[in-house]
Amino acid sequence: MTTITILDLEFDVIVDSITPYDVGRSSGPPEDCYPPEGGEVEWHIDEDHPIAEFIQTAIDNNESWKNLVEDTIWEKVTDEPEPPEPWDD
């Protein structure tokens, strides 16, 4: 579950599936080449939110909001943890 905030409205989205992006291959022998694929995320608004249906409808009708939700999900999925601090001697 990922928490999203749009215009001071905070809600949770549940990620159903994520397909990693593969850049494909466009050089080398033709039999080894293939087009880019993946990079898709399927999600839905947590149904327990009091106005889940309203939020989903708003996002479905606003491409920039949909992109914001998906970008936030990708950031959370690909976020690498901070390296540990070095030990003092």
Give residue 69's pLDDT. Answer: 92
* Domain made up of 2-78: CATH architecture: 2-Layer Sandwich (3.30)
Helix (H) or strand (E) holding 56, with range, is helix 52-60
- C-beta neighbour count of 52 within 10 angstroms: 15
For the chain, the structural domain boundaries read 2-78
- What average pLDDT does this structure show over 11-36? 88
- How buried is residue 15: exposed, middle or buried, by Cβ count under 10 Å (0-12/13-18/19+)? middle
Give residue 89's pLDDT. Answer: 61
Give residue 84's pLDDT. Answer: 74
Percentage with pLDDT > 70 across the chain: 93
Taking only the tens place, the pLDDT of each residue in 47-88 is: 999 999 999 999 999 999 999 999 888 888 776 666 677 777
Give the phi and the psi of residue 21 in degrees, each rounded to 5: -80, 130
Q: What angle do CA 23, 29, 35 make, to 5 degrees?
A: 25
With 70 as the cut, is the pLDDT of residue 12 above it? yes
Give the phi and the psi of residue 4 in degrees, each rounded to 5: -120, 145
pTM for this model (two decimals): 0.65
